[in-house]
Structure 1
């Protein structure tokens, strides 16, 4: 399978978002509202629908969940160990590290959901929705914790109010209780889900910035190497160690190689750190996804 060709439609939408935001009247102010619409309404509906529409066997998915959590914990450990490594700590500013370590382990859910169905069908979409649901709380805690002294609100409150967690928890509850979306409502919900993917990808492109990458290059290389090279290798080892099925392995590898979350720079800004530097890392990570996803799904998947 030509994964580069398969991924082209999604990354072309990211490029469209970047061009529209930079060269038309639909500037960053407009796209901030689009991001809010996707994040707080369209995306949670997609998560809910993805989980509810297919029967879920938690016992069968437990290995994938375990592998996803383990991979996340390894990524978090690698990210926060950078300032303690003798050959790196003298080249890394701790303030910058506190804000940008999250780039190494967080992921862009918009891109993940857009890719899952293309590479693994409806089952892939269901599995990555479950992974997103169980990993978002872990990753958000790990991202917020080192910056908590600058937060205006407690991180527990922010986690409980996270729309991705709410959508996933509602979907899991409804699935386990045997609830299904009424037939007359399915077309509306399906169209909302499709809109969330297209707008989410374009919003990721609209948020790209290149300005502040010139400084703190060592830190940038370190966190992006974890995100786009080491985590896919860890995922491959975990897929074998947990005995994942072919579809589960494909989903985990895709999950491991996703670009980082576009909200990383929002969180850094809100907590009083240098958001422009983190925005540069998010931008470069989005571009590196064009390489890391084919690497994980093509090269590593074939091993």
Structure 2
């Protein structure tokens, strides 16, 4: 019940975005501007602030970070391997990029909420470590895959240009540069970035909700079900295996489960919209992942608590 309560506001935010769209409170042209604002300003702000203030020392990162990185790498391979099951007629390149995004991205805000309820401050700290390691890796990796699958050209120069000029990659680079600098980010600047970045979560959820079509959800397709099952059910199994391999403690394992079993991050929807991914598939998968996570998190958490 506590996990359901933590996830319920996400579902309500989806509903609010959908309501705003179907009632005409916001017109389609307005949503396009909101998506662009989120992609170019809000998400980069939260990336800069979270990475700049993260503790990236090797003794802090440790084995948990290694297990999480391996998990994301395997998750990406699983997402792309759906092509072996579904031909291009049923899963376009844009849809395959969405499968990759919804398998590798994770909603850190739900993880932190669940950690506070299920594990306490120590698990919260470990998830913060996971954020500092995975945020740059996942964002750069997803931009690369989207540039490769959805770009108008597939040459290395075109892909490199797309990656280097992407606001998310630039945000990660700025955050890492500040983190490595011999000074801390000034408090007024950090607080400004925090204020701007906090808007990314709410707006991202509203945008995803606006992309939901109940008619599509009633016609569940194979890509939707595969994407919905991979994230909350298959990826945690992968992490449990890695936890044993890396000899993680029960607390570290719980933190990893709370990273693996939550739905994908809503900001991937905005990235897909901007870079040519399949946004309809992203929205549909995210709805089902959110519902499935309510069951998956307590199940897997019971294995290590």
Query: What TM bracket, shorter-length normalisation?
Result: 0.7 to 0.9
CA distance in 1, matches of 2:273, 2:226: 21
CA distance in 2, matches of 1:41, 1:109: 22
Q: Is 2:140 the partner of 1:137?
A: yes
Q: Is 2:11 the partner of 1:7?
A: no
Q: Does the CA-based 8 Å contact 2:80-2:100 persist in structure 1?
A: no
Aligned-pair CA distance for 1:171? 1.5
Question: What SS is found at the alignment partner of 2:269?
Answer: coil
Partner deviation per Cα, 1:179-214 (whole Å, 9 max, x = no partner): 323233444333212222222221222233456678
Counterpart in 1 of 2:118?
none
After TM superposition, the structure 1 stretch with the greater mean CA deviation from structure 2, 177-186 or 13-22, is 177-186
Write the mapping of 1:44-123 to structure 2, written as runs, cut at 5 A: 44-61=44-61, 63-84=63-84, 88=85, 92-94=87-89, 96-107=91-102, 112-120=107-115, 123=125
CA distance in 2, matches of 1:210, 1:93: 25
Q: Could you list the runs of 5+ residues in structure 2 that have no partner in the other structure?
A: 116-120
Cα 1:139–1:280 change in 2 (3 A) is same
Question: What SS is found at the alignment partner of 2:26?
Answer: coil
Q: Is 2:263 the partner of 1:258?
A: yes
Q: Does the CA-based 8 Å contact 2:76-2:103 persist in structure 1?
A: no
CA distance in 1, matches of 2:167, 2:251: 27
Aligned-pair CA distance for 1:280? 3.3
Q: Could you list the runs of 5+ residues in structure 1 that have no partner in the other structure?
A: none
Cα 1:111–1:137 change in 2 (3 A) is closer
Counterpart in 2 of 1:302?
302
Counterpart in 2 of 1:23?
23
Cα 1:40–1:129 change in 2 (3 A) is farther
Partner residue of 1:201 out of 181, 199, 205: 205
**TM-score, reference length from structure 2:** 0.78
Write the mapping of 1:192-231 to structure 2, written as runs, cut at 5 A: 192-209=196-213, 217-231=221-235
Q: Does the CA-based 8 Å contact 2:102-2:286 persist in structure 1?
A: no
Q: Does the CA-based 8 Å contact 2:17-2:208 persist in structure 1?
A: yes
Cα 1:148–1:47 change in 2 (3 A) is closer
Q: Does the CA-based 8 Å contact 1:71-1:235 persist in structure 2?
A: yes
Question: What SS is found at the alignment partner of 2:302?
Answer: coil
Q: Does the CA-based 8 Å contact 2:263-2:290 persist in structure 1?
A: no
**TM-score, reference length from structure 1:** 0.79
Aligned-pair CA distance for 1:5? 0.6
Q: Is 2:164 the partner of 1:160?
A: yes
